[in-house]
């Protein structure tokens, strides 16, 4: 088979000529790819825009919740005796608290000097409160560890552990819950008869380490009894965690906590400013460098920007308190960003007549600023919303470029094949002509 390479016969740099010709042919393809790349950049920019809008929507949602503006904080006069926490449902005010007794779990143990004899085996009935006894069995020759494990597996409302006091191993049996109702009775049979124990009349080899007791306290002079040291149902919205008895009455205070609202408003302003900054950056145009932002001139972005700014353009009619953001120390700068005057905001939150919660959430009849913004963004981000419609259109355009680019690349392959065939033929013709010329030259020389 003959081996040929374009340009060998003619001496032409066919490879270079082909590359230059194809570079010219590829110029329209490069323009298509650049156009597609610009739409991909727009899609990415809209993705950033969607993320920033979702963040602003979440921040607006936080301002529509009543708990944001009704948060409370509670403090205890004697934190060594008890700690306290409160929720939005707690009423502000002061309470006199006196703790006289903590809730305790019953704890019973075997002798501190003599190890129990388990060689004969037997059974123990465990009765928790007024419940039905549960039986624990131990085979003859069983160990103290075996008895401990059997008690723990019985689901009798008690737990067992082994403690070495330095002289002997003691089996300690404890109620799983505190309170007088969690007291338990033990009745041993057979070789475990020495494990019998009645908290009402302690006797025998088992000893009482701790009695089951209810917590006792008074709130503003009212006697309160609970089975647990965590008391969350005595004062609405307030949870007391008892740690030790008090020496006398001590004060517990529930006060307004405007820090939650302040933080929510600061977060809202931050999210709004991030979105505003993103829109300004993506739609900018630098006259000196003649460089435009990715979404410069995009009608969809201009519509989003206009709708968001329109939310704050006018006072809200129908509110009995504050009607403008400025009433809460919030202003919109000339560049569209939001500014919060913390001093004015604190003053407005402390003034009940301002009804700052309604300014953001509304009053049930009209929507506040945050509620209106939340709804507007939700509509824009919906499957049939403005943002989705715009990104769907961009995606369709990108896909159309894919098919156009694919078709153009197939055309280029054919063009390159045609050029290659033409130059191969030209090379062969020029090679033949060169051979003929050499032959004629030789024949003329012989004449």
* pLDDT tens-digit map of 254-279: 998 999 999 999 999 999 999 999 99
Count other C-beta atoms under 10 Å from residue 422's C-beta.
11
Closest by CA to 431, choosing from 13, 1, 16, 12, is 12
Please give the order of strands across the beta sheet that includes 158-164: 158-164, 169-175, 107-109, 207-210
- Cα distance between residue 160 and residue 152, in whole Å: 6
pTM value?
Answer: 0.66
Q: Over the chain, what is the mean pLDDT? A: 88
CATH class for the domain made up of 1-70+258-447: mainly alpha
CA distances from 378 to 58, 88, 150, 304, 386 (A): 10, 27, 59, 12, 10
Average pLDDT over residues 99-111: 97
Structure tokens at 86: 């409160």
SS3 193: helix
Asked if residue 433 has pLDDT above 70, the reply is no
Query: What SS3 class is residue 158?
Result: strand
More confident residue, 140 or 437: 140
Reply yes or no on whether the pLDDT at 98 is more than 50: yes
Number of H helices, E strands in the chain: 9, 19
Question: Quick check: 283 and 296 in contact, CB under 8 A?
Answer: yes
Residue 148 has pLDDT above 90, yes or no: yes
pLDDT winner (highest mean) among 11-20, 93-102, 296-305, 431-440: 93-102
383 or 98, higher pLDDT: 98
User: Which ranges in the chain are annotated with CATH 2.60.40?
Assistant: 107-210
pLDDT at 359: 96
Predicted confidence at residue 435, as pLDDT, reads: 65
Q: Please give the pLDDT value at position 2.
A: 36
132 or 41, which is more confident: 132
Q: Return residue ranges of the chain for CATH 1.20.1330.
A: 1-70+258-447
Instruction: Calculate mean pLDDT across residues 15-29.
Output: 76
- Fold for 107-210, please state it: Immunoglobulin-like (2.60.40)
What pLDDT, on a 0 to 100 scale, did the predictor assign at position 1?
Answer: 34
Q: What is the spatial distance between Cα 186 and Cα 124, in angstroms, rounded to a whole number?
A: 7
Report pLDDT for 321.
93
Can you give the pLDDT at residue 3?
A: 36
Q: Average of pLDDT values for 159-171?
A: 96
């Amino acid at each position: 088979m003959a081996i040929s390479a374009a340009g060998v016969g003619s001496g032409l740099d066919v490879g270079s000529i082909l590359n230059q010709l194809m570079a010219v042919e590829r110029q329209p393809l490069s323009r298509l790819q650049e156009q597609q790349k610009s739409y991909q950049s727009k899609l990415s920019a809209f993705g950033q825009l969607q993320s920033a809008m979702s963040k602003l929507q979440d921040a607006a949602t936080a301002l529509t919740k009543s708990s944001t503006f009704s948060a409370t904080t509670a403090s205890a006069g004697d934190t060594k005796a008890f700690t306290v926490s409160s929720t939005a449902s707690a009423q502000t005010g002061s309470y006199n608290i006196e703790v006289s007794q903590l809730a305790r779990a019953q704890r019973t143990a075997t002798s501190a000097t003599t190890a129990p004899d388990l060689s004969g085996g037997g059974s123990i009935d465990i009765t928790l409160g007024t419940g039905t006894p549960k039986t624990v069995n131990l085979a003859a020759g069983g160990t103290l560890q075996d008895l401990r494990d059997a008690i723990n597996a019985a689901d009798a409302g008690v737990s067992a552990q082994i403690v070495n006091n330095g002289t002997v191993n003691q089996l300690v049996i404890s109620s799983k819950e505190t309170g007088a109702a969690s007291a338990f009775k033990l009745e041993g049979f057979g070789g475990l008869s020495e494990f019998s124990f009645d908290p009402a009349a302690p006797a025998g080899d088992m000893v009482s380490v701790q009695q089951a007791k209810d917590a006792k306290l008074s709130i503003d002079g009212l006697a309160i009894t609970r089975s647990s040291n965590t008391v969350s149902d005595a004062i609405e919205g307030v949870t007391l965690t008892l740690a030790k008895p008090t020496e006398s009455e001590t004060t517990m205070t529930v006060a307004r906590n405007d820090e939650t609202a302040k933080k929510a408003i600061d977060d809202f302003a931050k999210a709004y400013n991030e979105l505003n900054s993103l829109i300004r950056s993506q739609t900018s145009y630098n006259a000196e460098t003649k460089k435009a932002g990715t979404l410069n001139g995009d009608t969809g972005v201009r519509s989003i920007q206009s709708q968001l700014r329109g939310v704050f353009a006018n006072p809200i009619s129908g509110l009995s308190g504050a009607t403008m953001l400025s009433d809460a120390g919030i202003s919109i700068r000339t560049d569209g960003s939001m500014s919060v005057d913390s001093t004015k905001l604190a003053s407005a939150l402390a003034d009940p007549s301002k009804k700052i919660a309604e300014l953001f959430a509304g009053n049930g009849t009209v929507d506040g600023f945050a509620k209106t913004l939340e709804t507007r963004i939700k509509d824009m981000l919906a499957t049939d919303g403005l943002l989705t419609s715009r990104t769907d259109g961009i995606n369709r355009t990108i896909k159309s470029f894919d098919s156009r680019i694919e078709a153009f690349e197939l055309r280029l392959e054919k063009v390159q094949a045609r050029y290659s065939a033409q130059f191969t033929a030209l090379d062969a013709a020029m090679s033949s002509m060169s051979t003929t010329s050499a032959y004629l030259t030789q024949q003329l020389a012989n004449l």
